[in-house]
């Protein structure tokens, strides 16, 4: 696992978009796994810039890494809404090539199996772009005694719910939309498992800000543990971590 430290978040955003752009240029029908969260918003903005300069997304497949369970896919909390707002509305990924879990499938376990089949049918991920939670989660694979290879329904840790709730509150203030109370905030999600992620031909991890300094350090500690799912990325032969100076500077 290689670490690249970038001088600022905007430099990181551009670098991440360049990496994705290079993959798409060399393989126009690339299969991409994309994250949500605050960190990748700048990468999506820069990808839209590259698109305006001619980068073509018409043949790529994009798989979202996760989605909350039992939420309105058109509502403000859903990752489907996030992807439309931050990426799909700005580029030319055809609707049938945008993949995301159906949060309201009758049987969520079957929905996860369907998603894994779709990933396999597409040929697996050429590039998985990942964010990392402060507790080391990857997609929504939370720390635990055991991790799961296949896509599955995950119960989120109270810490993750709290962090994501705070993020949604910030966003709601900007867009004047409603967010349920912390008690009503989704605590279950569908997530791609570590299997398809670690089977990706290459992995790009985005880590930004002082709040991620501890987890970044732990990811490079040399220890591998299910208590820090991101530590497993050390096993991957082609994994690059892009970190900004604040994340790489050590705890605040």
Q: Kindly list the residues in this chain that would bind ligand GLP in the complex (CB under 6 A).
A: 35-39, 65-66, 131-133, 139-140, 160, 164, 167
CA distance 71 to 162: 17
23-27 contact pairs (CB < 8 A, 24+): 23/126, 23/127, 23/202, 24/55, 24/56, 24/57, 24/60, 25/55, 27/126
Closest CB 167 distance from ligand GLP, rounded Å: 6
Which whole-number Å values give the CA distances from 218 to 81, 92, 128, 134, 145, in the listed order? Answer: 32, 38, 21, 11, 17
Closest CB 97 distance from ligand GLP, rounded Å: 20
Nearer to ligand GLP by Cβ, of 93 and 132: the residue is 132
Reduced to 3 states (helix: H, G, I; strand: E, B; else coil), residue 78 is: coil
Closest CB 36 distance from ligand GLP, rounded Å: 5
Nearer to ligand GLP by Cβ, of 86 and 140: the residue is 140
Closest CB 58 distance from ligand GLP, rounded Å: 25
**156 DSSP assignment:** P
Nearer to ligand GLP by Cβ, of 17 and 139: the residue is 139
Nearer to ligand GLP by Cβ, of 27 and 38: the residue is 38
Residues marked active site are found at 66, 135, 137, 142
């Amino acid at each position: 696992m290689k670490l690249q430290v970038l001088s600022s978040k905007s430099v990181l955003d551009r670098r991440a978009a360049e990496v994705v752009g290079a993959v798409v240029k060399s393989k126009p029908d690339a299969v991409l796994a994309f994250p949500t969260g605050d960190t990748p918003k700048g990468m999506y903005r820069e990808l839209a810039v590259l698109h305006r300069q001619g980068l073509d997304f018409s043949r790529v497949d994009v798989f979202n890494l996760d989605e909350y369970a039992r939420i309105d896919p058109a509502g403000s909390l859903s990752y489907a809404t996030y992807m439309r707002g931050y990426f799909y509305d700005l580029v030319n990924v055809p609707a049938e090539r945008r993949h995301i879990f159906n949060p309201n499938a009758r049987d969520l376990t079957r929905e996860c199996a369907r998603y894994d089949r779709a990933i396999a049918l597409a040929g697996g991920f050429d590039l998985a772009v990942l964010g990392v939670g402060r507790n080391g989660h990857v997609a929504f694979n939370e720390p635990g005694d055991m991790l799961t290879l296949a896509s599955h329904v995950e119960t989120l840790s109270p810490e993750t719910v709290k962090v994501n709730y705070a993020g949604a509150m910030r966003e709601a203030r900007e867009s004047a939309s409603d967010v349920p109370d912390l008690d009503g905030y989704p605590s279950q999600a569908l997530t791609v498992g570590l299997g398809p992620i670690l089977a990706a031909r290459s992995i790009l991890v985005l880590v930004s800000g002082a709040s991620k300094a501890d987890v970044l350090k732990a990811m490079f500690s040399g220890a591998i543990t299910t208590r820090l799912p991101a530590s497993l990325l050390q096993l991957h032969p082609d994994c690059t971590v892009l970190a900004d100076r604040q994340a790489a500077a050590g705890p605040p």
